[in-house]
């Protein structure tokens, strides 16, 4: 009887400790969610409020150029070009920041996505941009997946855009998109390029907001694109990672849920 009572007491103590731990974890999770919501709202408000003064900077710079009517010195014109270029960069940064902030609030509308068609459309959109470059595309067979089409389109717009940007110094630029087997129940899709690559020692910075592994003077960008990719794929239940060697290109991987056979046949 004594042993039984001791065992019951120990069990109750363990159950109480587990209950307290669960309550503490739930409280911390709620606090983290509230902090994230507050941070996202703050980012949205700041980004939105920056638009008005930025429009003033851009508008008055254009008015100054027209008012000067060719009377500005070369140095003054250069200063105005710098102002205009910087304000354009700021506008892109605001747009990207707003997009990043919205990603966590948007409802995901899962449906069947023809990945081959989507990649083809994103690629066609990228090719419309003026470049005159020699680009070799290698797109392998791609499966249909279950995902939010708009969000996955954004993922590939970022990944293909990055591949184009970081192969700027390559002749020819080679960009490859394909499927590389499975990771548990999800398919692994990759985007590979022969660009400048990056040092894996700085990998932890790769998917962070405003984190850049190359100088802005060498490659334009706001440092939000890959953070958006990670957020979208994480919300979809998958994961994203990359492999690279400096000056030897980079490969980005994402995992997506394939369409079950019965859904595809239907």
Are 97 and 151 in a shared domain? no
More confidently predicted of 139 and 13: 139
Are 24 and 131 in a shared domain? no
Are 47 and 115 in a shared domain? no
Nearest-angstrom CA–CA distance, 252 and 243: 7
Are 135 and 204 in a shared domain? yes
Residue 45 sits in a domain whose CATH number is 1.10.287
Q: What's the whole-number mean pLDDT along residues 19-27?
A: 83
Q: What is the pLDDT of residue 74?
A: 83
Q: What is the pLDDT of residue 263?
A: 46
The residue behind tokens 């990759």 is 190
Cβ contact 225:215 at 8 Å: no
Q: What is the pLDDT of residue 219?
A: 45
3-state secondary structure 111-136: EEEEHHHHHHHHHHHHHCCCCCCCEE
Nearest-angstrom CA–CA distance, 15 and 28: 20
Above pLDDT 70, what percent of the chain? 75
Cβ contact 174:194 at 8 Å: yes
Structure tokens at 223: 């440092």
More confidently predicted of 80 and 254: 254
Q: What is the pLDDT of residue 176?
A: 95
Are 147 and 223 in a shared domain? yes
More confidently predicted of 186 and 208: 186
- The residue range of the domain holding 209 is 110-265
Q: Can you say whether the dihedral through the CA atoms of 66, 70, 75, 81 is positive or negative? A: positive
Cβ contact 104:36 at 8 Å: yes
Of 221, 232, 222, which Cα lies nearest the Cα of 254?
232
Total domains present in the chain: 2
Q: What's the whole-number mean pLDDT along residues 100-106?
A: 64
**DSSP alpha helices (H): ranges in the chain?**
2-68, 74-103, 115-127, 149-166, 225-235, 261-265
Q: How many CB atoms lie within 10 A of CB 114?
A: 15
pTM over the 0.85 mark: no
Are 145 and 229 in a shared domain? yes
pLDDT tens digit sequence for 124-177: 887 766 567 888 999 999 999 999 888 898 899 889 988 988 888 888 999 999
pLDDT tens digit sequence for 202-246: 788 887 755 555 455 444 545 677 888 888 899 889 999 999 888
CA neighbours within 13 Å on the CB side: how many for 229? 26
Cβ contact 244:250 at 8 Å: yes
Mean pLDDT of the chain: 80
Are 201 and 246 in a shared domain? yes
Q: What is the pLDDT of residue 266?
A: 43
DSSP code of residue 220? -
């Amino acid at each position: 009887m004594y042993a039984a009572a001791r065992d019951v007491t120990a069990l109750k103590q363990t159950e109480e400790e587990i209950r307290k731990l669960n309550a503490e974890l739930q409280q911390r999770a709620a606090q983290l969610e509230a902090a994230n919501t507050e941070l996202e709202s703050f980012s949205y408000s700041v980004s939105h409020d920056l638009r008005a003064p930025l429009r003033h900077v851009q508008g008055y710079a254009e008015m100054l150029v027209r008012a000067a009517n060719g009377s500005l010195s070369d140095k003054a014109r250069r200063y105005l070009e710098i102002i205009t270029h910087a304000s354009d960069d700021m506008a892109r940064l605001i747009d990207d920041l707003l997009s990043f902030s919205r990603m966590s609030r948007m409802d995901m509308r899962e449906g069947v996505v023809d990945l081959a068609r989507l990649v083809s459309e994103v690629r066609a959109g990228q090719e419309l941009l003026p470049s005159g470059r020699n680009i070799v595309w290698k797109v392998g067979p791609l499966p249909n997946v279950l995902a939010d089409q708009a969000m996955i389109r954004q993922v590939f717009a970022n990944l293909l855009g990055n591949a184009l940007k970081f192969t700027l110094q390559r002749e020819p630029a080679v960009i490859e998109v394909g499927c590389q087997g499975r990771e548990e129940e999800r398919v692994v899709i990759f985007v590979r390029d022969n660009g400048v690559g990056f040092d894996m020692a700085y990998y932890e910075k790769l998917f962070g907001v405003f984190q850049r592994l190359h100088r802005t003077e060498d490659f334009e960008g706001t440092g939000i694109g890959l953070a958006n990719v990670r957020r979208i794929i994480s919300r979809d239940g998958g994961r994203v990672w990359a492999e690279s060697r400096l000056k030897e290109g980079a490969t980005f991987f994402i995992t997506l849920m394939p369409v079950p056979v019965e859904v595809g046949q239907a």
